[in-house]
Copies of this chain bind each other. A is one copy, B any other.
Amino acid sequence: MANPVLVEVLRGAIVESAHRGAVAVFDGDGKPVWEIGDTTKPVFPRSAVKAIQALPLIESGAADAYGFGNRELALACASHSGEPAHVELARSMLAKAGLDQSALECGTHWPSSHDAEIALARGGGSPNALHNNCSGKHAGFLCTCVHSGIDPRGYVKAGHGMQEMVRDAMQAVTGTVHGADERAIDGCSIPTYAVPLRSFALGFARMATATGFGPERAKAAKRLLSACMAEPFFVAGTGRADVALMEAAPGRIFAKGGAEGVHCAAIPELGLGIAVKCDDGASRAGDAMVAAVLAKLLHADEALSARLLGLANEAIESRIGAKVGSLRPTAAIG
C-alpha cells in the first residue's frame, strides 16, 4: 500500500505536486510514539546518521587527543555547504593528524553553497576534496585511524577497520543488523546500509537518552548532539534547513538531513528520536516533513511550534522574487 501524502506543493491555490512518505518517532526504550506509513521498509539513511557514524572519533580517544571542540565535532557530523569556514576547519582537523586533503577519499565537488561556489570561481579557484560536503566526516575518520594506529588508506571501503567501527556503532545504536545484503555505496564512497526506517528513530532516541549505553558511549553521544546543537552552521551552512531547525530552539532540537529525502532528529527534553523518509527522495519534502513532526511534538511551546510550522510551509518564488506558491504539510502529518 502506498504511504500517505505528507507534503503538498501549491502553485497559486492548486496542488501542483505531492510527496508521500513515512515517519517514525520512538522513545529510548524502543516504544513507538508516533508512526505514519510503512516504517518497517528498509531505507538508506545516507548522511542523516553522521552523528552516529562519528561515535568512534570520540570513543577512540582521537577527538580528545587532537583537542576537538564543538565546531570540529559538529563538522564531523556535517553535510556542510563548502563555505570558507567549513573548508578551513576540515583542513585544520586533518593537519592535527599530520594529514592534508590528499588523504581524503570522498571525491571532489563544487561547494553546495551557491555564493561560495561563485566566490571560488571568481577568485580563479577550483574545488578540492575539502569542499566535498562530507569532508568533515572524512576528516574525522582519518583522525580516528591515525590516532588508533590504523593505516588510513582505503578507509572508505567496507571491511576496512574504520568502516567496521562505523558499522559496529550503527548496529549497536539502532539495534539492527547491517549485513552485506543491505549494503550499497554512498555518494562519498563509504558503505550505506538499508535498514527499517524505525531503526533510525530508535537510534536517535538512544543518542538523546543514552538508554542502554555504557558510560563512554553515553558521554560520546551527548557530546556529539550537544556540539551540533551548539554550532548548527558547522553541521550545514548558510540558509540550510538544519540550521533553521536547530536555531529555532537552541539546545532543544537536533536535526540532520541526508540525501534522497531522509531526515533524522532528536528532542532530548522529550527523550524522542525521529526519522522520516520522503518516498521519492525529495529533500524539500523531507525537510518539510521533519519540521512538521517537530512542530507537532513540541506543540506545548506554541511560539516554537508556530516557528517550526513556518519552516514546513516554505514559500516558492518566481524569478523576480514574487511568492507564487508554497509547500504545505497535509492533515496526515499536521
Contacts and interface: CB of A to CB of B under 8 A. Distances in A.
Contacts of A19: 280
Interface string A1-19: 0100000010111101111
A181 to B, nearest CB: 8
A318 B194 contact: no
A281 B20 CA distance: 12
Given A194-B16, A280-B280, A318 B107 contact: yes
Interface of A: 2, 9, 11-14, 16-20, 42-44, 105-110, 114, 117-118, 121-122, 124, 132, 182-189, 192, 194, 260-261, 278-282, 285, 318-322, 324-325
How many copies of this chain does one complex carry?
A: 2
A318 B157 CA distance: 13
A16 B280 contact: no
A107 B183 CA distance: 45
15 contacts: A12-B183, A16-B260, A16-B281, A17-B260, A20-B20, A20-B280, A106-B320, A110-B114, A117-B121, A185-B324, A186-B318, A186-B324, A188-B318, A280-B282, A280-B285
A189 B279 CA distance: 31
| 10 shortest interchain CB distances as A-B pairs | A107-B319, A12-B184, A17-B281, A121-B121, A280-B280, A107-B320, A2-B2, A11-B184, A185-B324, A118-B121
